[in-house]
Amino acid sequence: MGDWWTGPMLGFDLETTGVDPTTARIVTAAVVIVNDGPTRTDTWLVDPGIPIPEGAAKVHGITTEKAQAEGTDPVKMLDTINHILGMWIHNEGEGPRGPMVAFNASYDFTVLSRELTRHDTDHGEWAPIVDPFVIDRHLDKYRKGKRTLAAEVDHYNVTLDQAHDASADALAALRLAWRLPQVFPKLAAMTLTELHDAQVGWHAERQTSFRDYLTRSGKDASDVSDGWPIQTGGTP
């Protein structure tokens, strides 16, 4: 079926302690489910167990003190998220299931994977995933300008309620996933499995090109990963 964007979708987003997904810790997390009924939003504030750098706190507004005073244990959060994502993927409960949606999914799902490993918690199965960041970079690769979530929602004329709020970012990613097949008919003709597999290839192609560019420029390309939605390399 090619109407995956008109049915239920699950949005996922994290705010963290840093930009490196192999070492970042989760500070806030959100799962937003859109279906025929009311939108369901689950959010978590987490004590990451390490100080939150000032730069990260300026982005998402969560200080070390706030996380320590109000945050939940990361293992409890991870168990709950794993349960929700597992039920979604395995179509448990009422009604059909659509994609999991994350903007720049290789960041969020790599962070999640590393956190699960760090806390010795079982990993789930995460597919099919729709990543508006990967799709936009591939299908409109020559457009100039930033490719941040804020830039893309502006370009595609969808709403972002509050940047760097996990639930708002997750909902904006869902809106992009709904909008993009209307802009690019190629997506509308694809099944979820076809789209997921295509994104694996599109991301790898982009990263390979970037790695080659760095190498030609005499720069270090050792940390460029072509894995999607989970990056390879680094340490938990």
- In the chain, the domains with their CATH numbers are 4-135+147-216 (3.30.420.10)
Residue 91 confidence class, pLDDT cut points 50, 70, 90:
confident
Per-residue pLDDT averaged across 127-147, rounded? Answer: 96
Q: At how many degrees (to 10) do helices 105-118 and 132-139 cross?
A: 150
pLDDT value at position 93? 58
* Pair type for strands 129-130 and 100-101: parallel
- State percent of the chain over pLDDT 90: 81
Confidence of residue 69 (pLDDT cuts 50, 70, 90): very high
- Scanning 45-191, the segments in alpha helix (DSSP H) are 54-60, 64-70, 74-89, 105-118, 132-139, 149-155, 166-183, 185-188
Q: What are phi and psi of 43, to 5 degrees?
A: -130, 155
Q: How far is CA 96 from the centre of its chain?
A: 22
pLDDT the model gives residue 121:
86
Quote the pTM value: 0.93
Report strand pairing: 100-101 vs 40-45.
unpaired
Please state, rounded to an integer, the average pLDDT across all residues of the chain: 92
pLDDT of residue 1: 43
Highest mean pLDDT among 20-24, 33-37, 84-88: 20-24
Across 128-153, average pLDDT: 96
Q: Indicate the pLDDT class of residue 223, thresholds 50, 70 and 90.
A: confident
pLDDT at residue 52 in the model:
98
